[in-house]
Amino acid sequence: MITYNRILLKLSGEALEGAQGYGIDPQRLAVYASEIKSVVEAGVQVAVVIGGGNIFRGLQGTSEGMDRVQGDYMGMLATVINSMAIQAALEKLGVQVKLLSGLAIDPICEAMSRRRAIGYLTEGKVVVIAAGTGNPYFTTDSASALRAIEIQADAILKGTRVDGVYTADPEKDPSAVKYNTLTYAEAYEQGLKIMDLTAFTLCRENKMPIVVFNMNQEGNLLKLIHGEAIGTVVS
207: left (phi over 0), alpha (psi -120 to 50) or beta: left
CB of 24 closer than 8 Å to CB of 12:
no
How long is the chain?
A: 235
Output the pLDDT for position 151: 98
Output the pLDDT for position 60: 66
Write down the pTM of the prediction: 0.94
Output the pLDDT for position 113: 96
CB of 4 closer than 8 Å to CB of 155:
yes
Chunk the chain into consecutive blocks of 10 residues (it has 235) and report each block's average pLDDT, rounded to whole numbers: 95 87 91 97 98 81 80 94 97 98 93 97 98 95 97 97 89 90 92 90 96 95 94 95
Q: Which amino acid is at 44?
A: V
Each residue's pLDDT tens digit, 133-168: 999 999 999 999 999 999 999 999 999 988 999 998
* Residue 227 CA neighbour count, 13 Å, CB half: 3
Output the pLDDT for position 21: 79
Domains and CATH numbers, the chain: 6-234 (3.40.1160.10)
The secondary structure of the chain as a DSSP string is: --S-SEEEEEE-GGGGGGGGTSS--HHHHHHHHHHHHHHHHTT-EEEEEE--TTT--HHHHHHTT--HHHHHHHHHHHHHHHHHHHHHHHHHTT--EEEEESS--TTT-EEP-HHHHHHHHHTT-EEEEESTTSSTT--HHHHHHHHHHHTT-SEEEEEESSSSEESS-TTT-TT--EESEE-HHHHHHTT--SS-HHHHHHHHHTT--EEEEETTSTTHHHHHHTT---SEEE-
Output the pLDDT for position 59: 67
